[in-house]
Amino acid sequence: MVKDEENLGKLIGEITHYFSRISVAVFRLSDDLKVKDRVRIKGETTDFEQEIESMQIDHEDVEEAEDGQSVGTKVDKKVREGDNVYLVE
């Protein structure tokens, strides 16, 4: 069976850490991301969409981040290291 991955959006990053007590995910970007963008986080047991309400780089609030940067953001559900982050268009 072939997985239908064409509707996931554009792959823009991967989860590198998850802080469960505060529901914050850290991910390394492979493309640009802005506050108010909608993302889909998908992994083996993870699959949900949410809007980026805020994000931080080195504990500083930022409005946008670029390819190669690691950002932290609150997430609505549990994520796992290795989950992919897609920009929903």
Give residue 5's pLDDT: 52
7-31 pLDDT tens trace: 789 999 999 999 999 999 999 999 9
Q: What is the pLDDT of residue 2?
A: 38
Tokens of residue 61, six digits: 């609030």
pTM above 0.85, yes or no: yes
Q: In the chain, what are the domain boundaries? A: 10-87
**Contacts by residues 3-9 (CB-CB < 8 Å, ≥ 24 positions apart):** 8/40, 8/42, 8/84, 8/86, 9/39, 9/40, 9/86, 9/87, 9/88, 9/89
Amino acid 87: pLDDT: 96
Predicted local distance difference test score (pLDDT) of residue 41? 97
Tell me the C-alpha distance between 73 and 67, whole Å. 16
The answer to which of 2-16, 36-50, 51-65, 74-88 has the lowest mean pLDDT is 2-16
Architecture of the CATH domain 10-87: Beta Barrel (2.40)
